[in-house]
Amino acid sequence: MDGLHRDYLTPLIVSLTARDAMEGGRKELLARARAFDPGFEYATTRYSDDGVLQYALLEHAQYNLVLYPGTRCKSDWVNNMSCVPTRFRDGWVHSGFWSAVSESWPSLKRALGRTEGPVVFAGHSRGGACAVLSALRFGNEERLGAVITFAQPRVVCSTLAERILTKRWGERYTRYTCTSGKSQTVHTRESN
């Protein structure tokens, strides 16, 4: 990914997906990113009709970072529990998370279309689920830099997990989990 490594990106993503950072708005998010790395040039945020942040896109001189927040409000919880599988290509995905991604996808697709360079999708919990599904929907393997998630729930069937997350994305997909109070890094070996 042009010299970028998940060890470099992980502390930045942890800092930016913290609840207070994501609630601060576009300018605060950009300021926080620039404090970590002055190469960040611009930030775009998308909010739902009820004022809840759906995603943030931070443009860096070398890459683009799409961040998804975790569960924020009652409507997010309802969406999280809408877990009846829905069809995606030749597999199944979590319908609630897919709905969340689909709602904001046209806006994100336009924003990404105006950028160049690799795209990193990242998020915590519900945001991690949305990051995985957005990367699947993005589908541009040449521009996919990485998918990095923290405490992400399962979002795709085992067929898609094996074929796409493990075989196609490989080391570009990192899922951080926490088991019994100990942090652990899972690189595509776990069904998603």
Domains of the chain, residue spans:
6-186
- What is the pLDDT at residue 50? 63
Domain 6-186 has CATH 3.40.50.1820: yes
pTM of the model: 0.82
The CA distances from residue 121 to 27, 75, 85, 161, 162, in Å, are 20, 23, 22, 16, 19
pLDDT value of position 71: 63
pLDDT value, residue 52: 62
Q: Residue 118 gets which letter from DSSP? A: -
CA distance 130 to 54: 10
Query: pLDDT tens digits for the chain (192 residues)?
Result: 444 556 667 777 777 776 666 667 788 888 888 988 899 998 888 777 666 667 889 999 899 999 988 766 666 656 666 677 777 777 778 778 888 888 889 989 999 999 999 999 999 888 898 999 999 889 888 899 999 988 787 888 777 778 777 788 888 888 887 665 544 444 443 434
Q: What is the pLDDT of residue 118?
A: 94
> Can you give the pLDDT at residue 115?
92
